[in-house]
């Protein structure tokens, strides 16, 4: 009798998501690509995905088409479907747009933030600290995203988070590479503390500077990767 596989599944079970089947397949595959469970340039084998998720080819094909429209996968006729490699041009553009949005958001929130909102930010920061102490990078990454979402939410603009996420998509995937870099998670936590401190002080200028310092660290780490790991990047 063959031994059971001990390999960790790369796709999250569909039961973890809500909504129609096609949406859940898309969410599972998208998460696997964004977290680098599927590496840039890797071929996506639809049959294996179907087997892993327990679905037919139709929802997988629909998910792949949606991911291709987002620029996360590349469909090459007669060759196959591949996870898109990184593009420094897209990363720089996304970082520029995200900074413009988040700087403006932080300045606005610094002038309007309530005690209840500060309580949510402080609570988030305490959980971040615990996750760093535990060495839980994946958990820290989730709380990092939640903190940024809270600041955007506190502006009162309903579509801002969606616009920001779209702009940040390719940077978000690429930043997964640098989170394991020794000291980077701890440095990120320090940058988050500075942002929250500026909001607590209700100082728009300090909030602007803290967000700029934080977001600009990413390019400092990502730009050398194009030279050091050319296999991950689109040569075009």
Where among 83, 116, 131 does a domain terminate? 83
In this structure, what CATH number is given to the domain that contains residue 105?
A: 1.20.120.530
Tell me, yes or no, whether 23 lies in a domain. Answer: yes
Q: Do residues 79 and 92 both lie within one domain? A: no
pLDDT of residue 236: 65
Question: How far, in Å, CA of 114 to CA of 97, rounded?
Answer: 27
The crossing angle, in degrees rounded to 10, of helices 137-153 and 88-112 is 60
pLDDT of residue 84: 95
Question: How far, in Å, CA of 40 to CA of 9, rounded?
Answer: 18
Question: How far, in Å, CA of 32 to CA of 11, rounded?
Answer: 6
Tell me, yes or no, whether 7 lies in a domain. Answer: no
In this structure, what CATH number is given to the domain that contains residue 20?
A: 1.10.10.10
pTM: 0.83
Given strand 73-76, what is the order of strands in its sheet?
A: 43-44, 80-83, 73-76
Q: Do residues 183 and 224 both lie within one domain? A: yes
Where among 53, 83, 113 does a domain terminate? 83
Where among 83, 112, 131 does a domain terminate? 83
Residues in a beta bridge with 73: 83
Q: Do residues 50 and 113 both lie within one domain? A: no
Q: Do residues 197 and 130 both lie within one domain? A: yes
Query: How many structural domains comprise the chain?
Result: 2
Whether the CB-CB separation of 114 and 122 falls below 8 Å is answered with no
Q: Do residues 121 and 201 both lie within one domain? A: yes
Tell me, yes or no, whether 5 lies in a domain. Answer: no
Which domain range does residue 39 map to? 14-83
Question: How far, in Å, CA of 178 to CA of 185, rounded?
Answer: 9
Which helix (H) or strand (E) is 76 found in, with range? strand 73-76
Cβ-based neighbours of 120, under 8 Å, separated by 6 or more: 150
Tell me, yes or no, whether 2 lies in a domain. Answer: no
Distances, alpha carbon 8 to alpha carbons 57, 61, 133, 191, in Å: 22, 24, 25, 33
Q: Do residues 193 and 114 both lie within one domain? A: yes
Q: Which residues of the chain carry a pLDDT beneath 70?
A: 1-8, 179, 236
pLDDT of residue 2: 44
Tell me, yes or no, whether 6 lies in a domain. Answer: no
Question: How far, in Å, CA of 231 to CA of 229, rounded?
Answer: 5
pLDDT of residue 4: 42
């Amino acid at each position: 009798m063959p031994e059971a596989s001990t390999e960790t599944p790369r796709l999250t079970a569909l039961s973890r998501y809500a909504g129609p089947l096609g949406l859940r397949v898309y969410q599972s595959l998208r998460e696997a690509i964004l977290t680098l469970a599927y590496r840039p340039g890797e071929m996506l084998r639809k049959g294996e995905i179907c087997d892993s998720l327990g679905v037919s080819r139709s929802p997988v094909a629909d998910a792949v088409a949606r991911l291709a429209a987002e620029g996360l996968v590349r469909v090459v006729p007669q060759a196959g479907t591949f996870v898109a490699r990184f593009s420094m041009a897209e990363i720089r553009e996304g970082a520029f747009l995200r900074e413009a949005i988040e700087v403006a958001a932080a300045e606005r929130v610094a002038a309007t933030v309530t005690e209840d909102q500060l309580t949510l930010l402080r609570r988030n920061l305490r959980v971040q600290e615990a996750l760093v102490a535990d060495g839980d990078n994946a958990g820290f990454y989730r709380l990092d995203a939640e903190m940024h979402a809270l600041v955007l939410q506190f502006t009162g603009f309903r579509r801002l988070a969606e616009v920001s996420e779209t702009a940040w998509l390719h940077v978000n995937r690429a930043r997964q590479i640098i989170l394991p870099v020794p000291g980077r998670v701890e440095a990120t936590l320090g940058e988050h503390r500075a942002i929250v401190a500026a909001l607590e002080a209700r100082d728009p200028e300090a909030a602007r500077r803290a967000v700029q310092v934080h977001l600009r660290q990413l390019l400092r780490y990502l730009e050398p990767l194009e030279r050091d790991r050319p296999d991950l990047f689109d040569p075009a």
